[in-house]
Structure 1
């Protein structure tokens, strides 16, 4: 797939325009969006992604469109998992609802910047070293096992990392969010940081951790940097509104981690098989590819991902309904 500089430029300009509109809306009137507003934006962004994929199908071909849709769905599901942690962070630091949009938008911008850097680094590594797929695949399988092992643990067990603890200890932080800015001036003229800064640090470090999972996963779907980047962009767009649209539903998706574990394990195995098929390691089969290793087609990847996430979602909602009936029967 040959992507011209004009295509990259147009994509980046469109991204900046959409982010500017989001910033303008929040900057003019910080608020908690209504269900109608949130659902409208989510439908818009999902429709935009589907339209973009259709454009790829028409102008580039079905393979590129299939890789984009599969990558977008994978990244979207992983981004929804981000929302669980964002929800915990908001609750832990008692962020007022009217400021949560601002936190989410900044978190999304940070995620885009970090993922952009990881995409560039990953593309450069892949271009030079085929064996990096072994590392990516092994890391994804390890992550999947970790999700399975900790799937039943309480999600409220958010552990503050060393940077958050240092910031709370070393920086002069007020107890009030004030107007939602990072700093405020007291009546005595002293400038203090607001808890918003600590929240931003928590969101930023969380974005970094999630980028370590998502970038190897998307490279397991496609090696084309443009598709990797756009799949990530469309997965993150609308995430802010999705947070408010899902609301309490997030807490009911108790089996989502298991679905994500299946997806990550599948992509991890797919990467290792592809690395074996195109092997260049001199100590393995004399540096020749192992042609017995099957190549998993994109349609099968899409089927497995949709199936795993669909089963996890339905099972979660069924469990929530059963638990609710039990609680009502006890009253």
Structure 2
């Protein structure tokens, strides 16, 4: 059929999770509880870092930025997910769908770059401790964080512009619970080569370069830790990096499983399951890792709880 004679589609139909029948309310409640827990945990990290003097260090400043990024990320996806669960699917305009992908990809890029700054901070702290204060000044921290946010939204903008130029016709069903790039490309009736080229170019500074940098940083960190004569100091040095390393492995693992090595087209359910892990579980997992494994944050939580109890007795 001649593509010129095909009508242009202005709306997509998101299938979501299909008809959940009697489990609809249960799934909705579960997703809602996880979402509220995610927002609460990340807001708590941001507030603790802001009001606790002992947490005014580069590592926790970057962590608060990561938590803010998680809030933006999950707030873009989960409300749509909840709506689709209740409705069993729903319509969304093409423009809004592409915009949702942009608001998904921008925080994703920022997160990747923030993980690089956090690994650089750990590298300087352990491998160059005498120069840490002069290198990790507050002005340098602001510069790195600002660069992460600007690059995240600018690089994602290139993909957004290329997606906006696509035309869609005939099929309009998206078998997913949010607007991701792969199903959009499959539905396009125009050439997607420009989008694929832009995505490949953007992927290098977003995924490849950060992964190489983080890997090289931790090789240097591990080599430095192994040369420390005291086992107590070795354990303390490694414990400052373990939380970040767990988050890096979790984040890049889920990201690569969805975008770098995605399941085959006939594994739609597996792809959705990985996407749920990436969009719902990981944003909650990150602050919990730092809260449970980090003595400074645990101490700050206990201190503020005790302060609230004291004020309660006074009032």
Question: Normalising by the residue count of structure 1, what TM-score does the alignment of the two structures yield?
Answer: 0.29
Question: Normalising by the residue count of structure 2, what TM-score does the alignment of the two structures yield?
Answer: 0.30
Kindly indicate which of the two structures has a greater share of residues assigned to helix.
2
